[in-house]
A and B are shown apart, each in its own frame.
Chain A
Amino acid sequence: SQQGEEDPQALSIQEGENATMNCSYKTSINNLQWYRQNSGRGLVHLILIRSNEREKHSGRLRVTLDTSKKSSSLLITASRAADTASYFCATAVNNDMRFGAGTRLTVKP
């Protein structure tokens, strides 16, 4: 299965700390994406990293991709209480995408 698997399942940190979430997958992919979900409803796209890229930044987000290890990490720097949400990685082969079970991040004020 190409489905991503995130770890940890849950992460609790203090505001201002950095949060790191990891994703592993099993098959070759075109790209890997990270999404955020608040309140159990629709997901919001955060960042996409292509299979030929190793690192990408967007604001306080930093994503790395290691295709040899079939793994990715999402780093959120200087976390805020508003970052509390579930974060999902999704692996894509063209438009065929599969999501992992997610990491539940809690940022305490």
Chain B
Amino acid sequence: GAGVSQSPSNKVTEKGKDVELRCDPISGHTALYWYRQSLGQGLEFLIYFQGNSAPDKSGLPSDRFSAERTGGSVSTLTIQRTQQEDSAVYLCASSSSSGGRYEQYFGPGTRLTVT
């Protein structure tokens, strides 16, 4: 079946511009996560959506970052007024809580470069 997809795969933007990153989770997965990974570093948690519950936004680094998940499926991560330090790979993952499995399925990521 289809896995998690993300678009675009690469994005180059000028400092100060806004960007939108998209994530299509696996159909039926109730949980969706966004992470950020700088070169050679671990995963930095950004935000977590679980069903219809209020999202856990505790990882968003500043108010320039926001995310929404429409209809419990597709999610968009928006970064306003991008800065060079926002350059990273942004990873999306989804998981199903059925059967208590909880393993995450990752998309290929979006590599964001802010010039």
Contact = CB atoms under 8 A, between A and B. Distances in A.
A31 interface: yes
Contacts, number: 63
A95 B45 contact: no
A95 B42 contact: no
A101 B40 CA distance: 9
Contacts of B35: 99
Given A33-B103, A41-B108, A48-B101, A88 B89 contact: no
A16 to B, nearest CB: 27
Interface residues of B, number: 29
Nearest to B32: A95
A45 B56 contact: no
Contact of A41 (B104, B105, B109): B109
A34 to B, nearest CB: 10
Q: Is the interface of A mostly helix, strand, loop or mixed?
A: strand
B106 interface: yes
Q: What range describes how many residues of A lie at the interface?
A: 20 to 34
B39 A40 contact: yes
Given A96-B48, A102-B42, A41 B89 contact: yes
A40 B37 contact: yes
B106 A97 contact: no
Interface of B: 4, 30-31, 33, 35, 37, 39, 41-43, 45, 48, 50, 56, 89, 91, 93, 95, 97, 100-109
User: What 6 A-B pairs are tightest by C-beta distance, nearest first?
Assistant: A101-B42, A42-B106, A99-B43, A95-B31, A45-B103, A43-B106
